[in-house]
């Protein structure tokens, strides 16, 4: 019984850490590299008939070439609202509306802008690491309170904490790997 409680806490921590890593991965995807990608615009909120709606629910995306993203609204009447939302976003790109689709031409990044984006990505990676560490701390508190209640032996606590530590280092390693991949992507010209 005691081993199961420790495993339950560990499994819960594993799931939450995996979600934190996925979130960090999504954050990285939203940082613009030299290429066009739907991930850059899918989460932009559009005022669609008075309701804030993510762009991915209002349009489909295609990338005909590395520097061009085409947004095709399902409802042509939302074209203006989508165009305004993209202009107001922090993408820094002017949408070209031809009455049917919106074209977003991504200019090549300058060296200075690449360096700024690397800093942004590093910050997002650190936020991801902090989230994982916070989850580790919460799981530790839970395990320690189980030990105080007598539901977990001291040996079992130590064993589960070692597993938790290994899990934490593994997840932080994944974030670091994602970070180095994104940095390489940003700095390649």
81 close to 105: Cβ distance less than 8 angstroms: no
pLDDT at 19: 94
The answer on pLDDT for 164 being more than 90 is yes
Nearest Cα to 90, choosing from 160, 40, 50? Answer: 40
2-30+110-187 in CATH: which number?
1.10.132.20
pLDDT at 73: 92
Q: Tens digit of pLDDT for each residue in 64-110?
A: 888 888 999 998 888 889 988 888 887 778 888 888 899 988 877 78
Q: Tens digit of pLDDT for each residue in 102-122?
A: 998 887 778 888 888 889 899
Domains 2-30+110-187 and 38-105 share a fold: no
Domain range summary for the chain, segments of one domain joined by + = 2-30+110-187, 38-105
pLDDT at 138: 95
52 close to 46: Cβ distance less than 8 angstroms: yes
pLDDT at 141: 94
The answer on pLDDT for 189 being more than 70 is no
Tokens representing 87? 């202009």
pLDDT at 3: 66
Q: Which fold has domain 38-105?
A: Gyrase A; domain 2 (3.30.1360)
Q: Tens digit of pLDDT for each residue in 130-157?
A: 999 999 999 999 999 988 988 888 888 8
pTM score of the predicted model: 0.71
Identify the residue with better confidence: 124 or 40: 124
Q: Tens digit of pLDDT for each residue in 7-66?
A: 899 999 999 999 999 999 888 877 767 677 888 788 888 988 888 989 889 899 988 888
Nearest Cα to 92, choosing from 113, 112, 72? Answer: 113
Residues 6 or more apart whose CB falls under 8 angstroms from that of 94 comprise 87
pLDDT at 175: 95
pLDDT at 109: 78
């Amino acid at each position: 019984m005691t081993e199961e409680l420790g495993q339950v806490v560990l499994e819960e921590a594993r799931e939450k850490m995996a979600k934190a890593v996925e979130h960090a991965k999504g954050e990285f995807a939203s940082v613009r590299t030299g290429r066009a990608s739907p991930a850059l615009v899918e989460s932009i909120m559009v005022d669609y008939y008075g309701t804030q709606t993510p762009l991915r629910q209002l349009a489909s995306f295609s990338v005909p070439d590395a520097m061009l993203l085409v947004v095709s609204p399902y409802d042509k009447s939302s074209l203006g609202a989508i165009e305004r939302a993209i202009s107001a976003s922090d993408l820094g790109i002017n949408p070209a509306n031809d009455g049917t689709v919106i074209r977003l031409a991504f200019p090549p990044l300058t060296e200075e802008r690449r360096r700024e984006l690397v800093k942004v990505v590093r910050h997002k990676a650190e936020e991801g690491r902090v989230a994982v560490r916070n989850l580790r701390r919460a799981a530790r508190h839970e395990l320690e309170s189980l030990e105080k209640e007598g539901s977990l032996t001291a040996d079992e606590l130590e064993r589960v904490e070692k597993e938790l530590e290994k899990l934490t280092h593994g997840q932080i390693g994944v974030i670091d790997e994602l970070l180095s991949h994104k940095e390489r992507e940003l700095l390649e010209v």
